[in-house]
Amino acid sequence: MIVHAPAAYVRDRLPIPMEVESLGEDRCAFEPGSDHPEMLALHLGLLDADFTIVDSPELVDALRNLTDRYRRAIDAAGRPSAGPTDR
What backbone torsions phi and psi does residue 59 show, to the nearest 5 degrees?
Answer: -70, -40
The helix/strand/coil state of 7 is: helix
Task: Encode pLDDT of 41-61 as tens digits.
Answer: 999 999 999 999 998 999 999
Where residue 16 falls (left for φ over 0; alpha for ψ -120 to 50; beta otherwise) is beta
Residues linked to residue 22 through DSSP beta bridges, in sequence order = 28
**CB within 8 Å of 61: residues ≥ 6 apart:** 37
Is residue 84 over pLDDT 90? Answer: no
- Above pLDDT 70, what percent of the chain? 91
Nearest alpha-carbon partner for 5 in 14, 22, 43: 22
Which of 17-21, 31-35, 82-86 comes out lowest in average pLDDT?
82-86
pLDDT score for 81: 64
